[in-house]
Chain A
Amino acid sequence: MTTIDNDSAGKTAMALLTLQGVDKIYRQGELEVRALQEIDLTVQEGEFAALVGPSGSGKTTLLNIIGGLDAPSHGSIQLNGTSITTLKEAELSDFRLFQLGFVFQAYNLVPVLSALENVELVMVLQGRDVRERRERAEHYLELVGLEKVMQRRPAALSGGQQQRVAVARALAAGPRLVLADEPTANLDSENATALLDIMHRLSHEEKTTFIFSTHDRRVMERAERIITLRDGKIVSDKHIGQESHEQMA
């Protein structure tokens, strides 16, 4: 099994994530769609960053490329010291399993498994032993406030609860980076802000980097950094509470 060393040397010196000159071109017959153009991006360890922009601006494409679910047309991606564009499919799969956590818009969970089993699942895939994964799963479900409904299957949970299970699952795997594509899109604003608060708190407590996309203003407000995309380009990149530096394309 190819495991990737979590404590690779030089992590303080190097950024967690570096994208350089990333392009993504989709070809539909004669038509070319430039979903991403010349993306340069650096994310440091522990950041809590929002990717914002109108629908079709390339948020999902960018997150998929960072997560190794899709390959860029040009450019390089360094994640925790690994150039992920050079990895083969099986290596990428292991890379995602051990280094990344994912939270998607909806239906994140396996319907036939309980919340607890869903959180355990990713640790089963990692090959952790029974006791460790049970303890960690319970721990993270408690952290997201679901200790009372751990035995329920997704259908018996609210949308907000389901997304919290997904967050617990992502974190229980012990990733360096959690990618969340519109995790609040299917939630009402109360549940959306609650989920963001949980994610924000855990990002600090667990020292885990988060990049999430959204077009919800109240969700954006929770971010420490807002990266704005338009037509596949980064049109602004602001660190909140610090002096903002905009890069106009």
Chain B
Amino acid sequence: MKHSDQLHADASRLPMLLFIAWRNIWRSPVRSILTIGALAGGLVMVILYAAMMEGMIRQMVHQATAISIGHLQIHRQAYVDDQDLYATLPWSYLDTIAGVFPEISLAPRLYASGLASTAETSTGVLIKAVDPAREPQVTRMLQQVRQGKMDLGPADDSQDGLPRNNLVIGAQLAKNMKLQPGSELVLVTQAADGSIGNALYRVAAILKPLEPNFDRMGVLMSIAAYQQLMYLTDGFHELVIRLDDATDLGVMQAELDAELKKLVSEQPLDELGGTPVVRNWRQLTPMVADMLEISKTITFFVGFIVIALASMGMLNTMLMAVHERTHEFGILLAIGMKRRWLLLMVLLESFFLGLVSALTGVLLGIGVIGLFGERGIDFSGMLPDGYDWGGIVFEPYMKLHLEPLDLLLACLLMLVITLLASLLPAWRTVRLRPAEVMR
């Protein structure tokens, strides 16, 4: 009973406390504005940082899934373990999976290593073969042309009248071998039957940096051309899968896994290649997945530290304010103000400072991000071409992406920290002894 009366009494005094606290902020306008400026500036940094991280993550995920990795991939265990050339899945598997899961898009791929030569130079390459019809349904790899025109079909014959196929190569490889669209290239490999396979190719296009290995050593050709070169026709190494809705990735992964088990029992595989495994993009790019996990935590800590530093100004301001008002607080205590109301008044003043700073910071943050716009921050002058992190290539534009939840979190963080910083100044009022203050 007494307690609820007290709460009621406190509540009825609240408007006055709010009123005085608000006005107190503007007592030293310059000091308050500097304090708010520091806090809002800190918040802008945090918002910008969070938007950069979020933008980067989205770009990386996009890069990872949309451009080359897809959502899920199926390989045989021996291929996963040591890129065993013979660890292929039979073509019938592709047809069966396509029949069972009509809603997903599938693209088979094959790989090999070889030696690429021109008249001047030769170098080791990684051959990647895709199905020019299926690949575009799954990834945008074939759209990533920097120079030339995408073409994986047969090319015109060479000057000596030899047949040629078109292929597409990585940007760094093109630079190292001084290749241009239209240049000629010889590939030499050890084919599946143990013979030396070699053929003549025409460089149709040069790709943008996709992933560092491909960029340096990658040669992209059609599966038909690969089969001619490698005599490997009974299956494929990799099946890339794209889902329309990636949210139930786990479910799809499990269903595929079950279907593959069934397939293995119906259409047994050879012993050496091992069982088929389905992995999602997080498993395929563990660095990116780890980074996604920790980046939120890092952003939070960076935010915490930046705001905590900025709130030192606030701590100082409130300590000064409380110190300056020692006499005034003494008078208020003498005339019958409750200590807890005085304490609340100081906390409210800090809260208002934090709130004004938060609002200012959010508006400025949104404004700054708006300034950079859709394109993001241009780093093209600062980053080397095809700069990668964890095997994922960055575009030289850092897109900023503002999550409303991040914004809310940043504001809450700011209010909590400023309130923490005001505990010490507020506590000072508790020790005030009016008799000493009044002298």
Contacts and interface: CB of A to CB of B under 8 A. Distances in A.
A94 interface: yes
A60 B438 contact: yes
B20 A98 contact: no
Nearest to B5: A1
A93 interface: yes
A64 interface: yes
Interface string B245-272: 0000000000000000000000000000
A141 to B, nearest CB: 17
B6 A122 contact: no
Contacts of A112: 20, 23-24, 26-27
Contacts of B333: 93
B328 A96 contact: no
A235 interface: no
Contacts, number: 71
Contacts of B5: 1
A113 interface: yes
B335 A113 contact: no
A98 B26 CA distance: 31
B327 to A, nearest CB: 6
A70 interface: yes
Interface residues of B, number: 27
Nearest to A179: B334
A96 B335 contact: yes
A172 to B, nearest CB: 11
Nearest to B17: A124
A69 B203 CA distance: 94
A102 to B, nearest CB: 5
B102 interface: no
Contacts of B435: 64, 69-70
Contacts of A64: 435, 438
A54 interface: no
Contacts of B328: 107, 110-111
A34 to B, nearest CB: 17
A113 B20 contact: yes
B297 to A, nearest CB: 43
B337 A125 contact: yes
A97 interface: yes
A181 B336 contact: no
Interface in B12-26: 12-13, 16, 20, 23-24, 26
Contacts of A108: 331
Interface residues on A, range: 20 to 34
B336 A93 contact: yes
Nearest to A71: B435
Nearest to B334: A102
Nearest to A61: B435
A108 to B, nearest CB: 6
Given A107-B327, A124-B13, A96 B334 contact: yes
B336 A107 contact: no
B114 interface: no
Interface string B424-439: 0000000000110011
A21 to B, nearest CB: 20
A124 B16 contact: yes
Interface string B27-57: 1000000000000000000000000000000
A33 B439 CA distance: 16
A48 interface: no
A67 interface: yes
A9 interface: no
B6 A1 contact: yes
Given A60-B439, A110-B328, A102 B335 contact: yes
A77 B246 CA distance: 80
19 contacts: A69-B334, A89-B339, A93-B337, A93-B338, A93-B339, A97-B335, A102-B335, A104-B331, A107-B327, A110-B332, A112-B24, A113-B23, A121-B16, A121-B335, A122-B335, A125-B13, A125-B337, A125-B341, A173-B336
Interface of B: 5-6, 9, 12-13, 16, 20, 23-24, 26-27, 327-328, 331-339, 341, 434-435, 438-439
Interface of A: 1, 60, 64, 67, 69-70, 89-90, 93-94, 96-98, 101-102, 104, 107-108, 110-113, 121-122, 124-127, 169, 173, 181
